Amino acid sequence: MSFIRGVPLSRSSEPHAGLPKPPQQTGWTAVPVQSQGAALQGAPVEAPVPEPVSVSPRPGAHSSGLGRFNAWPRDLAEAALLECCGSHRWAQRLAAHRPYPDLDTLLAASDEAGYDLAPSDLAEALAAESAPCLHHDAPRAAHLALRAAHAAYESRFGHAFVICLDGMRPSQHVDQVLAAIRTRLAHEPDEERSLTAEEMRRLARGRIIELVTEAGTAPGPFPPVAYEHL
């Protein structure tokens, strides 16, 4: 989302006919802007202690959704997994190893496949991410600050900025992203590549959880992703 659920864009503006309702990219959406003051002015932002955000799926949603996911045709499963991580090798590997007995096993397989991504696979996954924008009625200064921060990051590292914000309150998202970009701009390329790969693994886990929870619901394309001005 390059940055926030996180994660990115409508990942694609093309509708995915026949796909289940895709996961709402974990860690990347619904970002209010009321707490941006210090971050937008470039002042140091102290990282707040993450406050757990509890999301309780419907009873049995994981188990029933996992069963549906296990039963999908392989091409459908791969297409849905590509919405969780844009690496074809990663998606093909997870789809091929079905059925999974439980969600923990699927998440472990996701992590393992993520650790095994070659640089070209990670580059492919990052190419599927892009920075969402703020809601149209957010302050102009907020639009400009986020746009400039993302542009600076992409100019230095050649790919979109990604960060998983699970556990952070939406009111903290914008400040956290701006602070993280400022910090990570000082990284060496190898250091940033390693951190980016870890953030992609975390994003993929959150998206898989939502994919399995929502498996079998009505198909539809990803809605456009934007920070929400609350």
| C-alpha distances in Å from residue 1, one per residue of 24, 115, 192, 199, 213 | 13, 20, 15, 11, 22
Tokens of 82: 């590509």
- Write down the CATH superfamily of domain 37-227: Oxo-4-hydroxy-4-carboxy-5-ureidoimidazoline decarboxylase (1.10.3330.10)
Cβ–Cβ under 8 Å, residues 78 and 98? no
* pLDDT value of residue 217: 52
Cβ–Cβ under 8 Å, residues 26 and 110? no
Query: What is the residue extent of each domain of the chain?
Result: 37-227
For 76-127, what is each residue's pLDDT tens digit? 999 999 999 999 999 999 999 999 999 999 999 999 999 999 999 999 999 9
Tokens of 78: 């791969």
- Residues of the chain short of pLDDT 50, as ranges, are 1-18, 22-60, 216, 218-230
Peptide bond into 221 cis (omega under 30): no
Torsion of CA 56, 207, 32, 197, to 10 degrees: 130
Q: What is the pTM of this model?
A: 0.68
* pLDDT value of residue 159: 94
Give the DSSP H or E segment for 227.
strand 226-227
User: What span, in angstroms and rounded, lies between the C-alpha atoms of 128 and 7?
Assistant: 10
For 166-177, what is each residue's pLDDT tens digit? 888 877 788 888
* pLDDT value of residue 176: 86
